[in-house]
Amino acid sequence: MDKAARFDNVNLLRGFAALSVLVYHVIEHTGWTSFPASGPLVVFRLGWLGVDLFFVISGFVIAYSALRSFRAAPAQFAKRYWTHRLARIVPLYFLTLALWIAFFWNGFFDQPPRAWSFQLASHLAFVHTFWPETFGSIDGVNWSVGIEMQFYVAIALLVPWIDRTPGWRIWLFGTLVAWAWRAAMAWGHVGEGAASVFMHVTQLPGCLDEFGAGIFLAKLVLGERELPPARAAAWIAAAFASGWIAMAIYWPNASYWNIPAMIVFWRTPLAAFLLCVVATAVCLPPTLARRWLAPLDFLGEVSYGVYLWHLLALELAMRLYGTRSIPVLLATAALTLLAASLSWRYLEKPVMDRARRPMPRRPEDSALVAMPNIPR
């Protein structure tokens, strides 16, 4: 597999993650107590794991593309990196922010100017995760977009270190930082309730074991000349083993937020499991996404839109159907897919295509690329 190739099957995971989060929020918002609590569909009761999967995928995809760009043209890295990242994240994020305020926050501008300007400024700067009053105040899922953008900043600042440091060491360092952060936040806020603990432990340092797992995989893939499909069998076996371990720990401790050891340590075996899942997707032939699972591949293509639109769609669906779970689920899914498809076609993709236009290479970059055996 050429390293410049797209990892098509990762789109399948994005699509599944977005769908899982959508169904999970319908279950929670409508109080769907009859939704299956066992069997295959129980995965949607754990749909919040879709965010963890997104973090591992981001660690892999962002580190992989950043390292390739940095190695190809270091002098142009920052401009190229931020052009692509901002084009991908900002347009739809700003649009859904505006629509949420316009349609679902009546009296937003009736607040004191200091209050509404603080809401806007924190969200526009992607630092709304830092304060309880802004953490999930506008389109609740946006807390994770803030974490993602902060991760992009970390990658931009640390890419030379990431390039020269072994992947296992990066993951280990990220894991130790995450444990220390989550331990400190759990100790300092456990008496304030689950919502407060969640907000504090999910700040960027507390997610570095998941992002670090993705970076480890990116370094592993970049060190390979090809990824034989036969290797997928080993990753599948590792995924089953690590997934069994992670869930065997979770189910007896599913109350989670009142168990400090779970808060501090459990996300790491989960990250190991998700790493194996993403690695499996990378190794499997792209025919899986391009032909056999094409609808899910498309869902993955528009997954960012699914993620940002689905709470707006859910609010509209509940205004129409109250808490009738199945009608709300169907309406939410239909409205979300329609909005995500339209925003992809007419906003996201055109902006991204423009951002991906090749930049003229400077002479010093061409000379650097031509030099053989540059130490990494």
Give the amino acid at 282. V
- pLDDT mean over 215-242: 88
**Which amino acid, 72?**
A
CA distance linking residue 151 with residue 154, whole number of Å: 5
Residue 72 pLDDT exceeds 60: yes
pLDDT of amino acid 224: 77
Give the pLDDT score at 225.
Answer: 59
CA distances from 117 to 105, 120, 125 (A): 14, 5, 12
State yes or no: pLDDT of 364 exceeds 60: no
More confident residue, 288 or 52: 52
Give 373's pLDDT tier (boundaries 50, 70, 90).
Answer: very low
Cβ count near 93 (within 10 Å): 22
- Reply yes or no on whether the pLDDT at 263 is more than 90: yes
Q: According to the model, what pLDDT value does residue 287 have?
A: 75
Q: How far is CA 23 from CA 4, 40, 328, in A?
A: 34, 14, 10
Of 60, 64, 66, the C-alpha closest to 274 is 60
**Residue 374 clears pLDDT 60, i.e. is over it:** no
Closest to 97 (Cα-Cα) out of 150, 68, 137:
137
**Residue with the two structure tokens 């340092």:** 205
**For 361-376, what is the mean pLDDT?**
42
DSSP character string of 140-192: TTHHHHHHHHHHHHHHHHHHHHHHHS-HHHHHHHHHHHHHHHHHHHHHHHGGG
Mean pLDDT of the chain: 91
Residue 35 in tokens: 């939704």
Host H or E run for residue 44:
helix 42-45
**Collapsed DSSP state (helix, strand, coil) of residue 230:** coil
Check pLDDT > 70 for residue 4: no
Q: Give CA–CA dist 123/132, Å, rounded.
A: 13
Q: What is the pLDDT of residue 21?
A: 97
Q: What is the pLDDT of residues 23-44, one digit of tens each?
A: 999 999 999 999 999 899 999 9
Is the pLDDT score of 1 beyond 60? no
DSSP 35: S
178-226 residue pLDDT tens: 999 999 999 999 889 999 999 999 999 999 999 999 999 999 999 875 5
Confidence of residue 371 (pLDDT cuts 50, 70, 90): very low
Q: What is the pLDDT of residue 5?
A: 52
| Per-residue model confidence as pLDDT tens digits over 319-343 | 999 999 999 999 999 999 999 999 9
Can you give the pLDDT at residue 360? 57
Per-residue pLDDT tens digits for 169-191: 999 999 999 999 999 999 999 88
Is 361's pLDDT higher than 70? no
Altogether, the residues listed in the chain come to a count of 376
pLDDT digits (tens, 9 = 90+) for 115-154: 999 999 999 999 999 999 999 999 999 999 999 999 999 9
Percent of the chain with pLDDT over 70: 92
Contact 208, 178 (CB under 8 A): yes
pTM > 0.75: yes
Residue 1, helix vs strand vs coil: coil
